[in-house]
Structure 1
Amino acid sequence: MMAKMPTVDDVAEAAQVSRQTVSNVINSPQIVREETRVRVQEAIDRLGYRPHASARRLRTRKSSTIGLRLDPLRDGISGAVLDRFVHKLAEQADERDLRVMIFTANGAEDELAHIRRLRDGSDIDAFILIATFHGDPRISWLIEHEVPFVSFGRPWGASLDDPRHRWVDVDGRAGVRDATAKLRASGCSRVGYIGWPSPSGTGDERRAGWEEASGFDADGLATYQVVTEDGVDQGSASARHLLALDEPCDAIVCASDSLALGASMAATALGQPELPVVGFDNTPVASAIGLSSIDQPLDEVVAATLTLLFGPDGDVVLPNPDSNEQPTNRLLVPRLVERRSTHRAFGETTGA
């Protein structure tokens, strides 16, 4: 049975003060005698009391609410990363007595219209942007109107160090580079790559990681990569191309788990079920079928996002900074989860 949460009355009784004195210590500590304030604070700490979020919202005239737009799902695989991100955001926000409001929009301009309405109505204090892109109009508008925000994704094509744009991202270049290098170290000499069309900030970074570690010259880079839209069928067709070359690739790294699933299916159909294949995002599908994949540390992403927005205590909405005296961005390192799709190259399965 869940233990009862302590109340203001419990704190007042423990500290031997009135209910109003407890409220004063929480809301206006400067008007309380130091000796009394210390005694009440000790009781708060000992009991683990947390001021009610609704009372705090009334006091500060802040909604303690974060706005987040959801993109439409595509094939049910690529959308799993956002689904996990939203779940972790809701969990960590709840721990800070914060709320998350989800809304949908048809493109960036429609999203801005929603943001303007929600901001003007004082329904939301801050926003989290996802899927940033080159020339993203959301970023410039939010900066211009001094709306607190953090993006999950870098400011592609703009300054990475502009303190007015707080962002958190995962180093996809490093993740793909490390996976490619590990395949080559295990004996694979022609590691192919399947990725997305450029310009794609995230896709271009992942491709760059493969190029850096592939060991190919310019001709090899052109030969052993396929550019395609995201999807299982596209991954399958791309893998068939790479495996039909005069000197076919002996491993494949992909920009997503959707592409990797298609590549793995194609390899199996062509009689090469042991062809090493690595995806990106470590989705539930990858786990279910034993597909090696590069995992984004979403717990760390969410924790960094909330800290940049609300500070370490999560109690104050921080304005957009005008200097970079304090860190205003985080670039986090992913990790490779090895499964049976790469057992020939990597050895025994280390994750499931």
Structure 2
Amino acid sequence: MGAQPTVSDVAGAAGVSRQTVSNVLNAPEIVRPETRERVQAAILSLGYRPHASARRLRTQKSSTIGIRLDPMTQDGISGSILDRFLHALTEQADRLGLRVLLFTAADTAGEIEQFRRLSDAADVDAFVLTSTFHGDPRTEWLIEHRQSFVTFGRPWGIHDMTDPQHLWVDVDGRAGVREATRHLLERGARRVGFIGWPSGSGTGDDRREGWLEAMREGAVVGESELGRLQTATEDRVAFGADAMRRLRDQAGPDGLDGVVCVSDSLALGALAVCGGTLPVIGYDNTPVAASLGFSSVEQPLDEVASGVLELLTGAHGGRVQPGSAVDDPRHRLVVPRLVVRDGPPLIAPR
């Protein structure tokens, strides 16, 4: 079976621009009758069929989705996750006939100002937000101004699982870290430490809960010991090394049998300190984890991008109206997977 004809094919056959074809499909009343008839004849002869869900978004203004390009992180490791997400989103949007517009902003206030500028100029039809956090003012602004949007990340702190006006896709970090911790426990570890982010990070707190659940289920150490087996720091390789030293001191004479980290950046710092004497598992499965050969939890970013586009172009169209009768799911929680690699030898069962 040959490739399906595209808007470009129709435009070429009719001798018009892609925009004229789009106008015939979405606003035929603004196209001259003779031009409209020529385009419609080309559509029939080629057998072109517009993608129904993509048209739902295209019937607004620009066929364009806006997303902020986050600043580069200091070590550039964890930032690669958003780069991969952007690539997946752009690739999948293109197959739907949609474009992705990248913009920059120094901070949250600057991002909201970009929302205002782009929406006032009708440059985009919808927004995708990343790096959500407690009390995120960006989502409040978008809801208040009736903008279509989906977030990669839950709206932490505002009834995140059920908020009807906030469409989101997220990766189940708790499940991922729980699987990583269970993996070490099943291989004979008892005292598995955890290096996380400071309390208050929705994503970091969620991943920490996965470690706690696995440790409590395993019942290998007492509840009082769990506090000594965890520490938190900002997401930098050097800080991960400092946290590993601190965790090792806290663990006392019984020591550690392995460590699970909230990110690959912190895992790399931990590995630099323990020198391969302990198994360390990271999170994000970045190229660094693959090249150095340590295990890490992988976020299925293709599934995340697919979920974002489903919510933007499906029945909700990126926005849920109060009292909406649409029953389609408003949220997607994607399950990550643990990628196990040969690393330092695991300890023998006790």
TM-score, length basis structure 2: 0.81
Equivalent residues in 2 for 1:316-327 (5 A)? 317-322=317-322, 323=324, 325-327=327-329
**Inter-CA distance 28–194: structure 2 relative to 1 (3 Å threshold):** closer
**Match of residue 174 from structure 1:** 175
For residue 43 of structure 1, report the CA deviation from its aligned partner. 5.2
The reply to whether residue 131 of structure 1 matches residue 138 of structure 2 is: no
Match of 1:219 in 2: 224
Cα distance per residue 1:55-112 (max 9 Å; x no partner)? x89x946101111112211111010101111111111111111111111112211111
Identity of aligned residues (%): 52
Task: Indicate whether 1:287 and 2:290 are aligned.
Answer: yes
- State the SS of the aligned residue for 2:176: helix
Contact 1:278 / 1:292 at 8 angstroms: preserved in 2?
yes
Report the residue type matching 1:220 in the other structure.
E
Partner of 1:349: none
Are the equivalent residues in 1 in contact too, given 2:311–2:317 (CA < 8 A)? no
Cα contact 2:150–2:318 (8 A) shared by 1: no
2: CA distance, partners of 1:229 / 1:156: 19
CA offsets 1:125-165 (integer angstroms, 9 cap, x no match): 10011111111111111111110000011011111212210
**Residue identity opposite 1:264 in structure 2:** L
Looking at structure 1, the residues matched to 337 and 50 of structure 2 have their Cα atoms a distance apart, in angstroms, of 36
* Aligned positions of 1:205-216 closer than 5 A: 205-214=206-215, 215=219, 216=221
Report the count of equivalent residues: 317
Residue 296 in 1 paired to residue 296 in 2?
A: no
- Establish whether residue 258 from structure 1 lines up as the match of residue 265 from structure 2: yes
1:10-159 equivalences under 5 Å are: 26=25, 44-45=46-47, 60=59, 62-74=61-73, 75-159=75-159
Query: Structure 1 stretches of 5 or more lacking a match?
Result: 13-21, 32-38, 347-352
How far did 1:234 drift?
1.3
Query: What secondary structure sits across from 1:7 in the alignment?
Result: helix
> What secondary structure does 1:341 align onto?
coil
Change (3 A) 1:184 1:24: closer
Instruction: State how far apart, in whole Å, the 2-side matches of 1:106 and 1:24 are.
Output: 36
8 Å Cα contact 1:11/1:43 also seen in 2: no
SS of the residue 2:71 aligns to: coil
Aligned twin of 1:338: 340
| 2:145 aligned partner, one-letter code | H
Aligned residues of 2:60 and 2:125 also touching (Cα < 8 A): no
Aligned runs of 1:189-208 on 2, under 5 Å? 189-208=190-209
Q: CA deviation at 1:229?
A: 1.0
* 1:308 Cα offset (Å): 0.1
Q: Please tell me the residue identity of whatever aligns with 1:249.
A: L
Is the Cα contact below 8 Å between 2:26 and 2:59 reproduced in 1?
Answer: no
The Cα shift of 1:326 comes to 1.7
Distance, in Å, in 2 between the alignment partners of 1:321 and 1:307 is 17
Question: 1:217 deviation in Å?
Answer: 3.1
Q: Is the alpha carbon distance of 1:70 and 1:336 closer, same or farther for their aligned partners in structure 2, counting shifts above 3 Å?
A: same
Which digits, 9 at most, give the CA deviation of each residue in 1:2-34, with x for residues without a partner? x9967338878xxxxxxxxx99995689x9xxx
The residue type paired with residue 158 of structure 2 is A
1:300-336 alpha-carbon deviations (Å, 9 max, x no partner): 0000001100128xxx944334346221110110000
Query: Helix, strand or coil: the match of 2:346?
Result: helix
- What CA distance in whole angstroms lies between the structure 1 residues aligned with 2:280 and 2:309? 35
- Three-state SS of the structure 2 residue aligned to 1:253 is strand
Query: SS of the residue aligned with 1:331?
Result: strand
TM-score, normalisation: structure 1? 0.81
Q: Is the 8 A contact 1:7 1:49 kept in 2?
A: no
User: SS at the partner of 2:253?
Assistant: coil
* Distance (whole Å) between structure 1 residues aligned to residue 89 and residue 44 of structure 2: 31
Cα root mean square deviation, aligned:
3.3
Name stretches of at least 5 consecutive residues in structure 2 with no aligned partner: 15-20, 34-40
- In structure 1, the residue corresponding to 2:254 is in which secondary structure? coil
Instruction: Say if 1:126 and 1:147, in contact at 8 Å, map to a contact too.
Output: yes
